[in-house]
Amino acid sequence: MPKYIFVTGGVVSSVGKGVTVASIGRLLKSRGISIAAMKLDPYLNVDPGTMNPYQHGECFVTEDGAEADLDLGHYERFIDTNLSRDSNVTTGQVYSSIISNERRGDYLGGTIQVIPHVTNEIKSRIQRMAQRAGTETVIAEVGGVVGDIEGQPFLEAIRQLHREIGSENALYIHVTLLPYINSTQELKTKPTQHSVRDLRSIGIHPDVVVCRSDYPVSDDLKEKIALFCDVDRRAVIPLLTVDTIYEVPLILEAAGLGDYITERLGLPSHRPNWGQWEGLIERIRKPKPSLSIGVVGKYVELHDAYLSVREALTHAALFHDRELNIEWIDSEQLTPETVERRLSHLNGILVPGGFGPRGIEGKILAARFARERRVPYLGLCLGLQILVIEFARNVLGLTHANSTEFDPLTPDPVIDLLETQRGVNDKGGTMRLGAYPCRVFPNSRAGRAYGEAEVRERHRHRWEFNNRYRDALEAAGLAVSGTLPDGSLVEIVEVTDHPWMLGCQFHPEFKSRPTRPHPLFRDFVGAAACTLREGDQPALPIEQNLLAEVGGLPGRVS
């Protein structure tokens, strides 16, 4: 009988419920328990693929091509697993399938209602996760907070499921915030009491309350929360704000949550193995020389829009024992006048994915700066397209080269719509999505990074390198170093006469793990770590192997 852990939120959103769920996954994985994690999102969109990153942050992509909530990225990174489209259920998906069943006549004669039709559909999707081979425990996070109108069918579904499978097989965890009142210098529990009361009024009695706070939670306060929320004293778990999210699993472990969950659910009580994770935290805490990477994008005030990019850079910097300093650079602010001032102190430049013409010329300036000044550059998806446009304009001399996404009438469409995208009008779920194989050429930076002839990487795009320009670009020094195995689509390009300048049409950031940085991020950051900017002193012995590979120090070192 699989076990279920349902996680709800109280008081306010954005208190790190996704990281808490991912960390609970890690608590169980460290005990050798096989888990499946999922996010239940109450909004009416079918998926976040059509949402503005300002509203929803990054759109995560799974191996099987689902455009999913960014919390799935936390789950994958913490649990070290690849999830699928089944891991993200939205109200939009639930209603779409019920309505198409109704149109087919499946409910002939019946009136379709939230209970039982909607709740049954939600329950069956949760239970589908448990049917995956070998799954011992399903962790399901309900998005939003208790009291949201859209969330009610999901809460009702987990209430029914709990009742059906029995309390020995299911656990409710409620994640709340203890606000701090500055004038009286105290943490308040009242909002937590209220949100637990709301939960109980709909028949959900939490077993564990995780209390996020910016200040330490005293024993008296824990006692009070246990009493008012009617949970075990051991089940009140304080979770103080931390510098790095990767500490959260160890904090929850130290607070006894792993043991409490396994006891309550009768899961095997293996001793947890934290060796690798503790090593990670040690690396994070250790003082290290710093490294500045500029991320040139258009959602730079909102770092969640580039969440996986930030994490992948963090993993790679840890690998090289560097303290990562990311500078978020608004591409709309980059002009020929500002580019020198904004970019000259950076060790590396990254252009992430993006859509639409806003800020494109600034990104092209950043790519030009990186190429001409020999600063390591990594281009992700749109970042590859920018690299190609810049190279075509300034090396091949095709001054009006562009992507037809930004200039449909360009005389030199070096980036053009994928053949398979012609005639596609719907916006939702219709891009080239998910993992495709990529053949990597051995004598290239990509080949050396991967050390494998074929890899699988995740995509989310409609435009592509235009093969009509391939010969001319290659002759001018832009090497193609990865293609679809049949050779039809270019997936990786690199500038040959440069220490490290590479673009990939896919999103390697989705596959990076804290203890296993993605090879392209690893080598990009490795090259950046070898870059000395004017006035820098080498703080650590510079990696000789990397230096040998990049053919000497890049940057403005005399």
Residues tagged active-site: 381, 507, 509
Q: Which amino acid is at 383?
A: G
Q: Report the nearest approach of ligand GLN to the CB of residue 383 (Å).
A: 7
The piece of 125-133, 298-306, 333-341, 454-462 that touches ligand GLN (CB under 6 A) is: 454-462
The beta strands (E) that lie in 462-523 are given as: 463-465, 478-483, 490-495, 501-504
Q: Report the nearest approach of ligand GLN to the CB of residue 207 (Å).
A: 41
State yes or no: residue 462 binds ligand GLN (CB under 6 A).
yes
**What is the size of the binding site for ligand GLN (CB under 6 A)?**
10
The piece of 122-130, 200-208, 349-357, 541-549 that touches ligand GLN (CB under 6 A) is: 349-357
In the bound state with ligand GLN, the residue whose beta carbon lies nearer, of 251 and 418, is 418
Q: How many CB atoms are closer than 10 A to CB 501?
A: 27
In the bound state with ligand GLN, the residue whose beta carbon lies nearer, of 241 and 430, is 430
The beta strands (E) that lie in 183-334 are given as: 186-187, 208-213, 236-240, 290-297, 323-330
**CA–CA gap between residue 331 and residue 71 (Å, rounded):** 27
Candidates 56, 460, 511, 518: give the one binding ligand GLN (CB under 6 A). 460
Candidates 95, 328, 355, 441: give the one binding ligand GLN (CB under 6 A). 355
State yes or no: residue 353 binds ligand GLN (CB under 6 A).
yes
Q: Report the nearest approach of ligand GLN to the CB of residue 355 (Å).
A: 4
SS3 per-residue string spanning 19-56: HHHHHHHHHHHCCCCCEEEEEEECCCCCCHHHCCHHHH
In the bound state with ligand GLN, the residue whose beta carbon lies nearer, of 53 and 249, is 53
The piece of 180-188, 342-350, 353-361, 442-450 that touches ligand GLN (CB under 6 A) is: 353-361
Reduced to 3 states (helix: H, G, I; strand: E, B; else coil), residue 151 is helix
State yes or no: residue 354 binds ligand GLN (CB under 6 A).
yes
Whose tokens are 């235009």? That residue is: 466
In the bound state with ligand GLN, the residue whose beta carbon lies nearer, of 127 and 404, is 404
Q: Report the nearest approach of ligand GLN to the CB of residue 352 (Å).
A: 7
In the bound state with ligand GLN, the residue whose beta carbon lies nearer, of 348 and 354, is 354
Angle at 482 between CA 480 and CA 484, to 5 degrees: 120
The piece of 27-35, 136-144, 226-234, 459-467 that touches ligand GLN (CB under 6 A) is: 459-467
**CA–CA gap between residue 433 and residue 255 (Å, rounded):** 40
**CA–CA gap between residue 406 and residue 360 (Å, rounded):** 8
Quick one: CA torsion of 68, 92, 197, 224, rounded to 10 degrees? 0
CA distances in angstroms from 358 to 222, 413, 483, 546, listed in the order given: 50, 18, 29, 36
State yes or no: residue 387 binds ligand GLN (CB under 6 A).
no
Instruction: Output b/e per residue, 318-347; b: 16+ Cβ within 10 A.
Output: bbbebebebebbebeebeeeebeebbeebb
Q: Report the nearest approach of ligand GLN to the CB of residue 400 (Å).
A: 19
Candidates 369, 436, 450, 463: give the one binding ligand GLN (CB under 6 A). 463
The piece of 135-143, 168-176, 350-358, 496-504 that touches ligand GLN (CB under 6 A) is: 350-358
Strand pairing of 170-177 and 3-9?
A: parallel
SS3 per-residue string spanning 188-221: CCHHHHHHHHHHHHCCCCCCEEEEEECCCCCHHH
Closest CB to ligand GLN: residue number: 353
Strand pairing of 208-213 and 170-177?
A: parallel
State yes or no: residue 382 binds ligand GLN (CB under 6 A).
yes
Candidates 405, 416, 457, 494: give the one binding ligand GLN (CB under 6 A). 405
The piece of 147-155, 291-299, 347-355, 483-491 that touches ligand GLN (CB under 6 A) is: 347-355
Candidates 22, 118, 252, 381: give the one binding ligand GLN (CB under 6 A). 381
Candidates 461, 511, 518, 522: give the one binding ligand GLN (CB under 6 A). 461
**CA–CA gap between residue 312 and residue 318 (Å, rounded):** 10
The structure tokens listed for 271 are 């001793």
Query: Which of 347, 316, 349 lies closest to 331 in space, CA to CA?
Result: 349
Query: What mask, x for binding ligand GLN by CB under 6 A, covers residues 157 to 196?
Result: ----------------------------------------
Which alpha helices (H) appear in 441-535, and where do they start and end?
Answer: 445-450, 470-475, 519-529
Question: Site residues (CB under 6 A) for ligand GLN?
Answer: 353-355, 381-382, 405, 460-463
